[in-house]
Structure 1
Amino acid sequence: MSGLAVIVFITVFWLGLFPASDQSRNNKQDQSEPYDAVIARDDPAFLGEDSKFQPQDKTVTYTHVVTYGESLKTLFDLYGLAANDLLDLIKTNATALQLKNGQVVEWQLNTSGKMESLSIYRTSNLVSQYTWHDAQFIYRPVRIKGESKTHIIRGRVTGNFYHSASLLGLTQSQIQTIYQALFWDIDITHQVRLGDKYKVAISQHYVGSQVIGKGQVEAIRYGNNKQEWMLIRNIDGHFYHPNGTSNQKSLSRLPLEHSYRVSSAFNLYRINPVTHIEAPHYGTDFAVPTGSPVLSTGDGKVVRVGKHPLAGLYIVIQNGPIYSSRFLHLSEILVKEGQHISKGDIIALSGNSGRTTGPHLHYELRQNNLPVNPMLVPLPDGMALSTLDLSQFRLKSQALIDRMRDPI
């Protein structure tokens, strides 16, 4: 047992689980919140009534493309993943957790943020797969052979979209993908009409006659009231219109007109130096004087405004189907619940309300309602593909685009 403990400790140190720099920079308490003022991660005061698509799968899938210098610890920091899950992964098989540039990492979380599975796609036919089972992760390398086939599914809305798509055999995860992809063109939870037609391309992997995996949505075409939209998945995992324009709205990192000092960074592993009790910080604090304009970081809908004993005056904005943003300790709120706002709109003035150690703005970004590091996590940029990427996109997707353009 002692030998295992030493191995785990060394491995954790190797992966940089608790870097000293992160700890020290979060021990400052000027223009921030005191350590004993931690707001519960899932405090119901901040949840909007219509902020989630229903029905929703019990697990949510996340994908990240590895860039130079990133480790699994980096991903855990960026996406606010639980340190205990990383420790359990290391105990299972630390060697298989090493990452290289260009590899794709995919993981699933349940609604409480617990990791259910993690897959590292090393090559086109080799996956390192971890699955949570019976209170531990089970590791197995998966070699994929065989071929992929793309099937076109045609449908018509007869009640609501979810019911109609379910009858055709689409899974909750696939329906969720369609909803998120189409959101900025048409909200299929509210804007659909009886008789709307749609087509969905699903790629499925086969080994002989055996189906492997759940199938991935590769393309979507939706017709509503004489309007039509088509989206194609690119090799980067995102959806684009056939002309190469993105289906996403962009998010900016800074909710302020100017750059200000960060008085307390995002850190889920922050420790109270007096009590030595974990005091996670779910957002980024900016040391701004009271009355500074606060900007919306993206298009969206104001789903909650209010006053909280710890957060003071606050605003919650739903930035589409995946992201939401929170702005705490305000001195004045300039928007109302239900109001639609655009990226860059002035929504409030910063302040010193609630439990604070000085005037500042606390800004949070959530992905599927789980806090992520807003200063570092990859954000949707809403940009069209470059000339080179567009050429590659069309070359790879033209046959599928042609199939999707056939009559529904």
Structure 2
Amino acid sequence: MQQLVRTIALAYSNLPRPHRVMLGSLTVVTLAVAVWRPFVYHPEQNPVVKNIELDTAQLRSLLPEASEPIDQPAPEDDIPQDEIDQKVAGEEGVHEYVVSTGDTLSSILTQYGIDMSDVSVLAQQNNELRNLKIGQQLSWTLNDAGELQRLTWEMSRRETRTYDRTANGFKATVQTQQGEWRNSVLTGKLDGSFLGSAKAAGLSTAEINSVIKALQWQLDFRKLKKGDQFSVLMSREQLDGKSEQSQLLGVRMRSNGKDYYAIRAEDGKFYDRQASGLARGFMRFPTIKQFRVSSNFNPRRLNPVTGRIAPHKGVDFAMPVGTPVLAVGDGEVMIAKPSGPAGNYVAIRHGRQYMTRYMHLKKLLVKPGQKVKRGDRIALSGNTGRSTGPHLHFEMWINQQAVNPVTAKLPRSEGLSGKDRSDYLATVKEVIPQLQLD
């Protein structure tokens, strides 16, 4: 064997240099191919599975970017309530909306976080819902899972359609009222609270709530004084001698010698005697410039660890610590203090239907009870409380229901114009003489 090796080596060394290089290269390649064996996967073999447990922090790093823990609880503080906030019997959990220009069933319901799949099924099974008209009222309830349970559509004062969730979608029922509508004027003078005085004048709790909503931007009902007067024009449906339903047509309130009016237009909204809007306009964002959204509104968000619903009732804006935070509308500061996981926290009530909340603030610039205007500085943004990065958590609530601040239909203060204004002013001429005070 050794003789053979010596003979090969001698022959190799006697070859010209180019031949030796070529032969050596071929030898190396041949040895490499002989040694390398690619892995071949055989499906019939059982794979080895290994479960790797991740803690909450590790799992969080795999989720879409956000600024606060996914199990972030809401502040424990409830907004201070008074007797004017009380709900009508059977109204708890019911959400209401008056159809406005440009509204569709989808745009209305999705801003409240209702799943688009429910909206699609409802619209596909009931084509008439594609023909909503300005001034009509929608109301709905949700089940415990946050899904649409019932939708009620008041098409007119005489016809109401109800859509109830079933195993196969939504079942529609139609209710037609056959009563006679009559107008009546109710007057009163404050002797104690407005609620008690209005009931003494013959108004129901639902009718009182409608009066408060109509005048909410002009008056603070908690500050009315003894001797203040009011006159209310109601249209009531009478059936077999009983009042089945009612609609507020106009109201006049005299407080400290000044008269305040709100009169209903065909669009279902209330305006003053000159057809000017009563609502105060809102800004869309609570900052001078728009910042990146780091976590979206999602009332049905699931906690990936527990599998339970952990609602995110607002929007997170990623912004540097110390960014000025602005009130999005005129209102009164209800809360301004540290609040555990929410950090430094401000809540502002706008009228009687709207509320905004601002969390994780660095510094508070307002105090409870303080009146603020749209655009006023109320705080500096921060990273306080349970937060994984500098950001502002911003919420908007309408009728005690959280809505998506980015898509919600915000009140606007413009008045009527053109034919709508002419028709309204004709109505004013009929309503005002009826709103007499004692």
If the TM-score is normalised by the length of the shorter chain, which range does it land in?
A: 0.7 to 0.9
Distance 1:186 1:319 in 2: 12
Query: Residue in 2 aligned with 1:249?
Result: 280
Question: For structure 1, which runs of at least 5 residues remain unmatched after alignment?
Answer: 1-26
Counterpart of 1:203 in structure 2 is 235
1:29·1:357 contact (CA, 8 Å) conserved in 2?
Answer: no
Corresponding residue SS for 1:53 = helix
Is 2:70 the counterpart of 1:35? yes
- TM-score normalized with structure 1 length: 0.78
Q: Deviations over 1:134-191 (max 9, x none)?
A: xxx9852123456532211122223332112212321111111212322333323322
Residue 261 (structure 1) aligns with? 292
Question: 1:369 Cα shift?
Answer: 2.4
The answer to whether 1:188 aligns with 2:224 is no
Q: Percent identity?
A: 31
**Contact 1:330/1:352 (8 A) holds in 2:** yes
* Structure 2 counterparts to residues 140-289 of structure 1, below 5 A: 140-145=173-178, 147-193=180-226, 195-206=227-238, 213-273=244-304, 276-289=307-320
Give runs of aligned pairs for residues 72-111 of structure 1, distance below 5 A. Answer: 74-80=107-113, 94-95=125-126, 98-102=129-133, 104-107=136-139
- One-letter identity of the residue aligned with 1:371: A
1: CA distance, partners of 2:308 / 2:267: 40
Q: Does 1:342 align with 2:373?
A: yes
Aligned length: 368
What is the distance in 2 between the residues matched to 1:124 and 1:118? 17
RMSD, aligned CA: 3.5
| One-letter amino acid of the structure 2 residue matched with residue 350 of structure 1 | S
SS of the equivalent of 2:420 reads helix
d(CA) in 2 for partners of 1:273, 1:55: 37
Tell me the distance in 2 between the aligned counterparts of 1:403 and 1:115. 42
Amino acid at match of 2:221: I
**SS state of the match for residue 237, structure 1?**
coil
| Counterpart residue identity of residue 157, structure 1 | L
The correspondence of residues 303-318 of structure 1 with structure 2, limited to 5 A, is: 303-318=334-349
Contact between 1:52 and 1:321, CA under 8 Å: does it hold in 2?
no
Deviation at 1:122? 4.0
Range 303-312 or range 62-71, more displaced: 62-71
Match 1:62 to one of 84, 90, 96: 96
AA paired with 1:202? M
Q: Corresponding residue for 1:403?
A: 434
**Are the aligned partners of 2:276 and 2:416 in contact in 1 as well (CA < 8 Å)?**
yes
Q: Aligned AA for 1:279?
A: A
In 2, Cα distance between the equivalents of 1:192 and 1:131?
45
Q: Quote how far apart the aligned CAs of 1:292 are.
A: 0.9
State how far apart, in whole Å, the 1-side matches of 2:103 and 2:411 are.
21
After superposition, the C-alpha distances for 1:177-218 in whole angstroms (9 at most, x for unaligned) are: 21232233332332232x3322111112356x5656321111
Which amino acid in the other structure matches residue 191 of structure 1? L
Offset at residue 117 of structure 1 (A)? 5.9
Whichever residue aligns with residue 378 of structure 1, its letter is K
Deviation of residue 246 (structure 1)? 2.1
- Work out which of the residue numbers 375, 382, 386 in structure 2 matches 1:355: 386
Once the two structures are superposed, residues 72-102 of structure 1 have per-residue CA deviations (whole angstroms, 9 ceiling, x without a partner) of: x543331245x6xx69x979x9537843242
Partner secondary structure for residue 181 of structure 1: helix
Deviations along 1:32-85, whole A, 9 cap, x unmatched? 212132x14xx432x2334772544342661231666833x543331245x6xx
1:296-328 Cα offsets, whole Å, 9 max, x none, are 001111111222332111111111211111111
Question: Counterparts of 1:139 and 1:269 in 2: how far apart (Å)?
Answer: 26
Stretch deviating more after TM superposition (211-220 or 330-339): 211-220
**Aligned-partner Cα distance in 2 for 1:188–1:266:** 32
Distance 2:408 2:210 in 1: 20
Q: Which has the greater radius of gyration?
A: 2
Instruction: Mark the CA change 1:156 to 1:108 in structure 2 (over 3 Å): closer, same or farther.
Output: farther
Match in the other structure for 1:294: 325
Distance 1:29 1:258 in 2: 21
